[in-house]
Structure 1
């Protein structure tokens, strides 16, 4: 009986320790869960994996948010350029007609990929999210190149080409990725903010909690 009592007493600290470890691990995972959701969603959106994207996006809520944000974007644009302009009402009607197609275009895996890569909608007529990058051609590993016979003046021609390439204009550099910050805005809200440069407009992609560990992209804010 005494041995059994000592065994039970010795097991209690172990059980308490295990419970504490489980609680700490659960809290750590709960804190990291929106970062994990963001990473998984971005990878799936870039790959246009619609099935996985659907798991991390509340599309009805995102559509409603896009509709409100694009309408506000167009209203601000007309307000800044339409004072005293009799065509402002016509512009407003055209802007309203643009909202539906633009929302339909961005409430898609392509649109989600654009939002998470610093390319939000700007309310332009016929605007579409960028298409996925084309797959690169496989390298021709088994193809050999046979050098052409040298011709008279080949050295001079090569020198001229080198000089021309040195003085020819360089291709434009690709746009730099936006500055990105992510963090909690409340217990149940997590935001990713994008900005291309100091003084440029910012916008945010907003994730909302569903349950303890599940987060979904549910809104955008185009006027941070």
Structure 2
């Protein structure tokens, strides 16, 4: 009788450990990504990023922002509407090329370290020490079984920065599949 109880106890312990690992696996993956970014280990970092999906995510957000900003006026000026449409088309083509060039391992690793897609503007050697930047503050949420979202917080209270969306691949393997950019106020023209 004791042998059966012992085996059931071991089995319950293994199932509990597996469930805990599965539940915390997105946090483990994010920690591994951040450690790879800090160590400049592109190979380890790239294994956890779905670059084609990430590019499409950024492109769709930039296109939506451009559609919102470049709206033709309702004054009936056909030439103005045609110019706005041409400008929007050229802007979207340039944005697509820019995203293809920018969403690469170095850029994404840098954004992960900084917690922002904005490049650092302090000085030439500002990125090397990185000692002045405290740990990133974030809130997180799990959406279903296959999606985990980490919302980075900015220095301003109540304001949310970019969000990293991880998606599950396999039992407990997660990849960065999407980045949600923070909303920007409309620029005056």
Following superposition of structure 1 onto structure 2, how do residues 39-54 of structure 1 map, counting pairs within 5 Å? 39-54=31-46
Q: Does 1:23 align with 2:15?
A: yes
Q: Does 1:206 align with 2:146?
A: no
TM-score (norm 1): 0.64
- Return closer, same or farther for 1:106/1:132 CA change in 2, 3 Å cut-off: farther
User: In 2, distance between residues paired with 1:51 and 1:45?
Assistant: 10
1:20 deviates by 0.5
Task: Describe the superposition over 1:130-171 as per-residue Cα deviations: whole angstroms up to 9, x where unpaired.
Answer: 5995546xxxxxxxxxxxxxxxxxxxxxxxxxxxxxxxxxxx
- Return closer, same or farther for 1:222/1:48 CA change in 2, 3 Å cut-off: same
User: In 1, distance between residues paired with 2:18 and 2:98?
Assistant: 40
Aligned to 1:93, which of 83, 89, 96?
A: 89
SS in 1 for 2:117: coil
Contact 2:167 2:177 in 1 (8 A): yes
Contact 2:140 2:150 in 1 (8 A): yes
Q: Does 1:108 align with 2:67?
A: no
User: In 1, distance between residues paired with 2:52 and 2:73?
Assistant: 35
Counterpart residue number, 1:161: none
Following superposition of structure 1 onto structure 2, how do residues 49-128 of structure 1 map, counting pairs within 5 Å? 49-79=41-71, 83=73, 86=80, 87-116=83-112, 117-120=114-117
Following superposition of structure 1 onto structure 2, how do residues 3-18 of structure 1 map, counting pairs within 5 Å? 9-18=1-10
Contact 1:208 1:217 in 2 (8 A): yes
SS in 2 for 1:43: helix
Structure 2 unaligned blocks of 5 or more: 184-189
| RMSD of aligned Cα (Å) | 2.9
User: In 1, distance between residues paired with 2:84 and 2:157?
Assistant: 32
Counterpart residue number, 1:193: 151
1:115 deviates by 3.6
Structure 1 unaligned blocks of 5 or more: 1-8, 122-128, 137-173
User: In 2, distance between residues paired with 1:83 and 1:118?
Assistant: 37
SS in 2 for 1:56: coil
Larger Rg: 1
